[in-house]
Structure 1
Amino acid sequence: MTASMIKRSVPYYSQWESPGLVPEFITGARPASTDPLWQKSGASSPQEYAFWAPRMCGVACTRMALDYWGLPVPPSVPLVGELQDAGAYVRDGDQVKGLIYQPFAEFVQARWGLYACAKRELPAGEIRTEITRGRLAMVSVHKTVRTPDHAPPSRGGHLVLVVGADDDGVLLHNPSGLPGRSQEFAPLSWTALDRFYAGRGVVLGDST
């Protein structure tokens, strides 16, 4: 981190209720249904929680942003329900399409009065500009960004929140990051980001 780093003091939320157990959840060593804190999610059962937890990266990013701007933070699974009603998640049996950016952005604006702009194209340089303006960027990266030394098989598919930026790179809050390594304020160089980043996302701000 350099002296020129712009770092926003954003609280961290994992997409699982027990951030310390993320390594076990993502490897399958421990079923999400056994998360001792599952009830905090607002789910009606451990099974409902286990279905949604791996799919709630965008929900976790949203909750971080709400907390940062001093707004009430709803439990994760009820928030998923609201986002389904808004068309930002579409469930068909065990398949889920989402997070769908445009209905998500419209929902965020209507629900909380925040600035939210869906970006089909969000160049890396623009991310830094938005952070400088006081905004946050929810961006699509490959889920293996939690271990950035390894080359990803593709780009995109997982949402993280950019909470800082400078000439060297970004700081990420990763909802499925590894505790003590890549969950909070995880540094990533611009070169490394390029390997994981799909070039799209949603910019969030505290007003329209």
Structure 2
Amino acid sequence: MKVVPEPRGAWACTLAAGLNGGVLHESGTIGVVISGGSVDPPAFRRLISQPASPPAGRTPHVPDLDRPFPTVTQYASPDLIAAIVYDGHDQGADPRWAESGAPDLDTYRTWCGHMCGIACLRMALLARTGDAPTLFELLDGARKYGAYTEDADSGAIHGLIYAPFAQYVHDVHRLHAEVHPTLTVPGLLALLDSGRLVMASVHKEIRRPENPAPGKGGHLVLLTGRQGDTVHFRNPSGHTEQTRTANLPVAAFAEFFVGRGVSMT
């Protein structure tokens, strides 16, 4: 077992093989997830009191509130995002599409606009160990759990659906994921203070916070922590470097936040 240091110790506990957790469905149904592993408590305490020892040839990744934390976009070329979201650029006309792990260009074109949550998951996994599957490998896994659905007639894609996504994250990637169908701003801050990462549902125009919020929800960003009244987050569809690795006053963030999300540790 490897323990990776993090400013508030969030990732040490995620690596306990015997982690238990509650997963909330948006209907309010509660299920208990049990990993089936076990951890000797004295041994675990000794592990988390020592610096992490990386595998041979690998440098440990230490999450931080700003640059050291990985930034992943849902579009393969970050420098095309502004043109895609504001100028009508074909999202499939991306020379780097294959880096996403998509099997072909048409599949990439169909799905890249729906992968904000998958990009958030990939960032969380990269922060833990420095390694993560590709976006489309993660998407395929999430779809097998029912985290996305497609309308048989129209082909419309629905998702990310939180409850099956949380189950997938726990079962396959051994992160404790908890669904928060109702999440207040104080509750969000408390999760961050406890060292959890939070995928929060916000309006996509959070990337232009100088404008009034046109609504709330519909897009997922990954909150990595806070300092006082400022929250730090990664936006998978940020159209500039500053909006991809972003921070906002809590009050400004709240204008775009719909009050639900998924926390991970």
Determine which of 188, 194, 197 is the counterpart of 2:248: 188
Partner of 1:35, secondary structure, is coil
Aligned to 2:85: 26
Determine the C-alpha separation between the residues in 1 that align with 2:147 and 2:131.
20
Task: Pick 1 or 2: higher relative contact order, CA cutoff 8 A, min separation 6.
Answer: 1
Determine which of 165, 179, 196 is the counterpart of 1:104: 165
Aligned to 1:58: 117
Aligned to 1:78: 137
Unaligned 5+ segments in structure 2 are: 1-63
User: How does the TM-score come out when normalised to structure 1?
Assistant: 0.90
Determine the C-alpha separation between the residues in 1 that align with 2:160 and 2:132.
18
Give structure 1 regions of 4+ aligned residues with deviation exceeding 4 angstroms: none
Aligned to 1:16: 75
The answer to whether the 8 A contact 1:137-1:203 is kept is: yes
- Give how far 1:45 is off: 1.7
Determine the C-alpha separation between the residues in 2 that align with 1:139 and 1:53.
19
Determine which of 142, 150, 161 is the counterpart of 2:211: 150
Aligned-residue CA RMSD in angstroms?
Answer: 1.6
Aligned to 2:59: none
The sequence identity of aligned pairs, in percent, is 36
- Give how far 1:36 is off: 1.0
Aligned to 2:200: 139
Listed one character per residue, the Cα deviations across residues 48-94 of structure 1 (whole Å, up to 9, x for unaligned) are: 10111111000000000000011631111232121111011111243
Say if 1:49 and 1:28 are closer, same or farther in 2 by CA, change over 3 A. farther
User: How does the TM-score come out when normalised to structure 2?
Assistant: 0.71
Aligned to 1:7: 65
- Give how far 1:28 is off: 4.3
The answer to whether the 8 A contact 1:10-1:65 is kept is: no
Larger Rg: 2
- Give how far 1:142 is off: 0.2
Aligned to 1:203: 263
The answer to whether the 8 A contact 1:17-1:41 is kept is: yes
Are 2:76 and 1:46 equivalent residues in the alignment? no
The answer to whether the 8 A contact 2:195-2:225 is kept is: no
